[in-house]
Structure 1
Amino acid sequence: MASCALEGGCPSDYVAVSISILCIFLLLAKWILPYIILKVPRSKGSSFWLVAIQVIASFNLVLSIVMALNFLKFKSRHWWRSCYLWAAWVEGPLGFGLLLSCRIVQAFQLYNIFVKRHMPPMRSHILLPLILLPWLVGSAVIHMKKSLNYHCHLRIQWVIPVTCLHALYVAALVGFTRALHHIEFRFREVKDLWRGILVSTSAIGMWVIAYVLNEIHDDIAGLQVVTRFMLLFMTSILVLGFFSLSISQPLVSLMSLSKKDHQKCDTMGRALGIPDNGLVLQGEKSQVIDPNEPLDKLLQNRRFLQSFMEFADSCLAGESVHFYDEVQQLGKIPLHDPTRRIYMARHIIDTYVVAGATMEVNISHRSKQEILATLDLAQPTLFENALNELMLLMKMNLAKDYWLSTYFMKLKEEATMRTASHESEQVNGWNFSPRLSSVHCPDDPFHEEHSPNNHDLEMK
């Protein structure tokens, strides 16, 4: 027992390492499977890379404890087994510090967006290093002062400052989360955040006790084995539970591996429960499309909108039409429901406005800055100037080509056929009572799925 307590390789050590490997595999599965199975599109913003950094930080934290506390028995020492590499740098700034810093950034974003109602004043890639700076300074001081003994344990005078640094970051996360308690979130961001804090606080509490005992009483072999096992075990539970209770992008957090849930929340509009979310229903009355009418009026027709959107997508210029559609959905959310309006506005900004967005629209720098610097994300005129610019571009470019395209010809033919069919039904005395409609499958609007890519478009 005394030998393996100092050199590593006790049976309990290998059990703890096996548990940690299992937790890391589960963590990777929870991160990757939604993108593989549900085909969730990978966003380019902080909603993706903050989560990716958390996964890396979780792995660093577990690996650093394995290496620093001699869980595995090595016959010889090498430079890559340096105590300062694993115990000072990887465990601190690149492990626990980085993990908590990412969550603080996410909580800070939620606080600014939903409490202050404006975009965060600092970009995540700038804020994250600033939050991580105390860890970098602390690790540098520990390295310069040679604060570790030959067992990779901190000397007694350094244990309390390092423990307080860990607690300070948990307290900062709790502080930002408490400031969000009065917001009625549509999704489970704050609820999940509180659950994550509860799990992490419980795990960190036991972790700190084991850490202090392991650092101070390194002369008691049995205590070293037990506390070492508890350190790695609680760390594995911490990183898995902390990541599983994610507050990343709302749509991704809503989508489980259930196909049913995925179909419900394939767009932000559906996830927010916006009525008439661009779907074309069967049995709707036909309407003749007049090319001489203003484009903004024609786009109010859902069948024309979908046909025009498909044409724009075929020309690789569909961003403007999709932007128009989602801004119209935003307009259907009542002004007395600011939380849902902020959700939708944030989604539109992340998807169409910010530099490098997946569907970045071609608007002026002035309009873009007006949106990004807004003091109220729930205001009804947030995207008005940008929408006017894009409407002008669509009238000058897409609209002229659309009237000569096969998409318009197909839409016109379908309108003619539906008009003839509607007149025939009236002549033959069809009864469109709710009772008959409910059993006549083709007239049931919920009989089949409709999607924006459906080519069997119908006119309003």
Structure 2
Amino acid sequence: MQQNARCAVEGGCPTDYIAISFAILFFILLLSKFILPLVVHKVPNTKGSGFWIPVIQIFASFNLLLSFVMSVEFLAFKRRHWWQSCYVWAAWVEGPLGFGLLLGCRIAQAFQLYNIFVRRRLPPIRSYIFLPLLVLPWVAGAAFIHMKKPLNYRCHMGAPWIIPIVCLHALYVATLAGFLGAIRHIEFRFDELKDLLKGIVVSASSIGIWAFSFILNEIHDDISWLQVASRFLLLVTASVLVLVFFSISSSEPLLSQISLRKREPKEFETMGQALGIPDSGLLLQRESTPVIDPNEPLDKLLLDKRFRQSFMAFADSCLAGESVHFYDEVHELEKIPVDDHVRRIYMARHIIEKYIVAGASMEVNISHRTRQEILTTPDLAHPDLFNNAINELIQLLKMNLAKDYWSSMFFIKFKEEASMRSTNHDLEHMTDWNFSPRLSSVHCFDDPFHQEQFSKGSSHNSHDSDP
């Protein structure tokens, strides 16, 4: 009994080590959910918030779990150094660098959804600026606790401090709920709204369990078994929270780097296919191939999909295919009806992040003025959003790649394939004319095939009638 009472006060009970094992296991699972798409599925990482927000979530999750272990007496050790202080772990690491940063990442994602789909414009504040602003209340709270020093030698604080701390946690959940109410009318193509709702439910449930465990651990510190049970529940709940919270993705619709869950039963190679744009990425075998005249304007020639793909392959071989890929995706965007704002916003945002943003993976060479017009547009669904960029890139293509393309092997191969398709099309047309399964419009007595079929039918009938 004395040993149990001692470990309840100083830490090191068997249940404490079980809870720590749970925390380690869940954090390893969390890391695997982030690493496996990059290693096994060869998912390309991005330089934007779609990559860094998950990384920050992992950092915040680690801080949250470690702060509980260090501040809630899970391990039996004496606090001899400054870095072992209760205020370092319970005030600074658990608050601003733990729960505050974790909820801040989700709020930053909800803030992006609100601006992009409700206001139809890119967020006015970048995530790397908005996220530190979200953590400022936690920094102020940690500094206030550090000055007042309400913690005792067991890192426990009095009852008057519990209510403000729980309210600060609940404030961030309420902020998420506010964004949910603002975007609930949007018919998202993917699961952003559902994921946001799940995040609210998970975080609210965790805060409820934390508050219950926290109150038991702080107030009833004279009951040994209650101390052990409450901190066990506290760490296990936090472990489940960080894993489930990380597994709920609302940052990228086409490519989720937070979760391995497949949002669609079919994998898509392009955003156009994911959005269900008609004939996106498809090249029908029976498409007619028009005669390509090099004297025609390039923008008119690029409307033909076969020519565009041939020209794109040539541009890629010259390591200058960004402009043609950009033209191709803008052409896909134009297939979406003007009144379908949600799908147009999805596609426009995808194009901006891939081609327009400075440092993008396939950044195109356009003027600063045109780039800023796109980035600061008041309407992402506007049908003329990329017109100026297209005009500038067409002029560049005319002066550079177009002249070399006409004398390249790509154009020669394109003409040969076009000629072969034209020949095959004529043969198929003749075959369909000769052996059409439809009834002939020629009268039986004038149909030259009728006599042969009739004679064959008669011979078969006479043969069948023989005994």
Structure-2-length-normalised TM-score = 0.88
Q: What is aligned with 2:426?
A: 423
Is 1:198 the counterpart of 2:196? The answer is no
- In the TM superposition, what whole-angstrom CA distance separates every residue of 1:151-170 from its partner, at most 9, and x where no partner exists? 11223332221111111111
Relative contact order, higher structure (CA 8 A, sep 6+): 1
Q: What is aligned with 1:408?
A: 411
Aligned equivalents of 2:367, 2:43: Cα separation in 1: 30
Q: What is aligned with 1:221?
A: 224
Assess if the C-alpha contact under 8 Å between 2:33 and 2:258 holds in 1. no
Q: What is aligned with 1:33?
A: 36
Aligned equivalents of 2:382, 2:243: Cα separation in 1: 39
Q: What is aligned with 1:58?
A: 61
Aligned equivalents of 1:185, 1:13: Cα separation in 2: 43
Q: What is aligned with 1:293?
A: 296
Calculate the aligned-residue CA RMSD, in Å.
Answer: 2.2
Aligned equivalents of 1:163, 1:427: Cα separation in 2: 80
2:13 to 10, 13, 30: 10
Cα deviation, residue 428, structure 1: 5.0
Is 1:74 the counterpart of 2:49? The answer is no
Cα deviation, residue 433, structure 1: 7.4
Aligned equivalents of 2:93, 2:433: Cα separation in 1: 75
Q: What is aligned with 2:191?
A: 188
Assess if the C-alpha contact under 8 Å between 2:247 and 2:259 holds in 1. no
Aligned equivalents of 1:258, 1:217: Cα separation in 2: 42
Cα deviation, residue 298, structure 1: 1.0
Cα deviation, residue 425, structure 1: 3.8
Cα deviation, residue 38, structure 1: 2.2
Cα deviation, residue 288, structure 1: 2.3
Cα deviation, residue 59, structure 1: 1.3
Assess if the C-alpha contact under 8 Å between 1:264 and 1:270 holds in 2. no
1:143 to 128, 142, 146: 146
Cα deviation, residue 324, structure 1: 0.6
Amino acid at match of 1:381: D
Aligned equivalents of 1:272, 1:405: Cα separation in 2: 35
Larger Rg: 2
Q: What is aligned with 2:168?
A: 165
- In the TM superposition, what whole-angstrom CA distance separates every residue of 1:103-144 from its partner, at most 9, and x where no partner exists? 111111111111111111111111111111111111112112
Q: What is aligned with 2:450?
A: none
Residues 305, 87 of structure 1: alpha-carbon distance in 2 compared, 3 angstrom cutoff = same
Q: What is aligned with 1:179?
A: 182
- In the TM superposition, what whole-angstrom CA distance separates every residue of 1:303-347 from its partner, at most 9, and x where no partner exists? 111111111111111111111111111111111210111111111
Residues 61, 255 of structure 1: alpha-carbon distance in 2 compared, 3 angstrom cutoff = closer
Amino acid at match of 1:87: A
Choose 343-352 or 217-226, whichever is displaced more.
217-226
Is 1:119 the counterpart of 2:122? The answer is yes
Aligned equivalents of 2:172, 2:43: Cα separation in 1: 32
Identity of aligned residues (%): 66
Choose 26-35 or 391-400, whichever is displaced more.
26-35
2:51 to 48, 52, 56: 48
Assess if the C-alpha contact under 8 Å between 2:151 and 2:157 holds in 1. yes
Assess if the C-alpha contact under 8 Å between 2:190 and 2:263 holds in 1. no
Q: What is aligned with 1:371?
A: 374
Runs of 4+ displaced beyond 6 Å: 430-435
Q: Equivalent residue of 2:225, what SS?
A: helix
Q: What does 1:252-271 align with in structure 2 at a 5 Å threshold? A: 252-253=255-256, 264-271=267-274
Aligned length: 435
Aligned equivalents of 2:79, 2:306: Cα separation in 1: 73
Aligned equivalents of 2:421, 2:30: Cα separation in 1: 53
Q: What is aligned with 1:334?
A: 337
Q: What is aligned with 1:276?
A: 279
Choose 414-423 or 106-115, whichever is displaced more.
414-423
Is 1:384 the counterpart of 2:381? The answer is no
Aligned equivalents of 2:192, 2:180: Cα separation in 1: 10
Aligned equivalents of 1:230, 1:216: Cα separation in 2: 16
Cα deviation, residue 295, structure 1: 0.8
Assess if the C-alpha contact under 8 Å between 2:34 and 2:258 holds in 1. no
Assess if the C-alpha contact under 8 Å between 1:255 and 1:265 holds in 2. no
Assess if the C-alpha contact under 8 Å between 1:203 and 1:238 holds in 2. yes
- In the TM superposition, what whole-angstrom CA distance separates every residue of 1:71-123 from its partner, at most 9, and x where no partner exists? 12337744432212211111000000000111111111111111111111111
Cα deviation, residue 225, structure 1: 0.4
Structure-1-length-normalised TM-score = 0.90
Q: What is aligned with 1:448?
A: none
Cα deviation, residue 399, structure 1: 0.7
Amino acid at match of 1:307: S
Q: What is aligned with 1:94?
A: 97
Residues 366, 262 of structure 1: alpha-carbon distance in 2 compared, 3 angstrom cutoff = farther
Residues 258, 149 of structure 1: alpha-carbon distance in 2 compared, 3 angstrom cutoff = closer
Residues 431, 281 of structure 1: alpha-carbon distance in 2 compared, 3 angstrom cutoff = farther
Amino acid at match of 2:239: S
Residues 434, 312 of structure 1: alpha-carbon distance in 2 compared, 3 angstrom cutoff = farther
Aligned equivalents of 1:434, 1:252: Cα separation in 2: 47
Q: What is aligned with 1:312?
A: 315
Aligned equivalents of 1:277, 1:255: Cα separation in 2: 26
- In the TM superposition, what whole-angstrom CA distance separates every residue of 1:40-80 from its partner, at most 9, and x where no partner exists? 22111111111211111111111110111121233774443
- In the TM superposition, what whole-angstrom CA distance separates every residue of 1:348-375 from its partner, at most 9, and x where no partner exists? 1111111111111111111111111111
Aligned equivalents of 1:265, 1:53: Cα separation in 2: 28
Assess if the C-alpha contact under 8 Å between 1:256 and 1:262 holds in 2. no
Assess if the C-alpha contact under 8 Å between 2:33 and 2:259 holds in 1. no
Segments of structure 2 that go 5 or more residues without pairing to the other structure are 439-467
Choose 157-166 or 343-352, whichever is displaced more.
157-166
